Chain A
Amino acid sequence: DSGVTQTPKHLITATGQRVTLRCSPRSGDLSVYWYQQSLDQGLQFLIQYYNGEERAKGNILERFSAQQFPDLHSELNLSSLELGDSALYFCASSLTDMGGDSPLHFGNGTRLTVT
């Protein structure tokens, strides 16, 4: 058990809808990272937060947004969903805000299916 909790495990929704994915980091970790995993793109970094502040943005679409709350949990909001957004979305946490200093601990992911 990594200590990172993601909910829900599965999400099925229709095109054009909006969903929210939730992540609780491992106890003591201040950084939260969001990744998207699909068959064709592999693991793609989306966004990182450290202690409530956005630190880095990767290949995140404008339709997607995220935030980290004072209790350090994070939410990833996906709107105007398209079929191509179907993927596994992972949250990871680490102690520091630099991926090289401390390992990332991953949740089990949320599988999003857009129909």
Chain B
Amino acid sequence: AQSVTQPDIHITVSEGASLELRCNYSYGATPYLFWYVQSPGQGLQLLLKYFSGDTLVQGIKGFEAEFKRSQSSFNLRKPSVHWSDAAEYFCAVPGGADGLTFGKGTHLIIQP
């Protein structure tokens, strides 16, 4: 069964520093991959998605992610974080008719 693993439960980054959130997937075929963000009290918002083609995907809010088949990874990056980026980040793969299978999430804390 397809699954995703987000190894980091919490990440603390200083404002203005770069960010990388890790995601490893297990998927039978060429995967579709997604990153979602959940701000406090909000639902999940799609940041970016990878379907095929260019392995570097650009998303909203200045985020990007790189698909690396050899490492089964789809890590999320941002060159300079802002305090408003503090949120929960979820990596996801399709679960067939189940919609999406989500990782446990990474809680991002921004230090001033």
Contacts and interface: CB of A to CB of B under 8 A. Distances in A.
B100 A104 contact: yes
A45 B43 contact: no
- Between B49, B99, B102, the greatest number of chain A beta carbons within 10 A of the residue's beta carbon is seen for B99
B94 A99 contact: yes
Contact of B44 (A56, A58, A90, A94): A90
Given A90-B44, A100-B94, A33 B99 contact: yes
Contact of B43 (A2, A56, A98): A2
Contacts, number: 66
A42 B3 CA distance: 14
A108 B38 CA distance: 10
Given A42-B102, A43-B102, A104-B100, A99 B46 contact: no
Interface in A58-83: 58
Contacts of A58: 98
Q: How large is the interface on A (under 10, 10 to 19, 20 to 34, 35 or more residues)?
A: 20 to 34
Given A55-B97, A98-B94, A98-B96, A103 B46 contact: yes
B99 to A, nearest CB: 4
B97 A42 contact: no
Given A42-B104, A42-B105, A104-B46, A99 B95 contact: yes
A4 B43 contact: yes
28 contacts: A2-B45, A31-B99, A33-B99, A35-B99, A42-B102, A43-B102, A45-B98, A45-B99, A48-B98, A55-B97, A56-B96, A56-B97, A56-B98, A58-B98, A90-B44, A92-B99, A94-B99, A99-B94, A99-B95, A99-B96, A99-B98, A100-B96, A103-B34, A103-B49, A105-B46, A107-B43, A108-B42, A108-B43
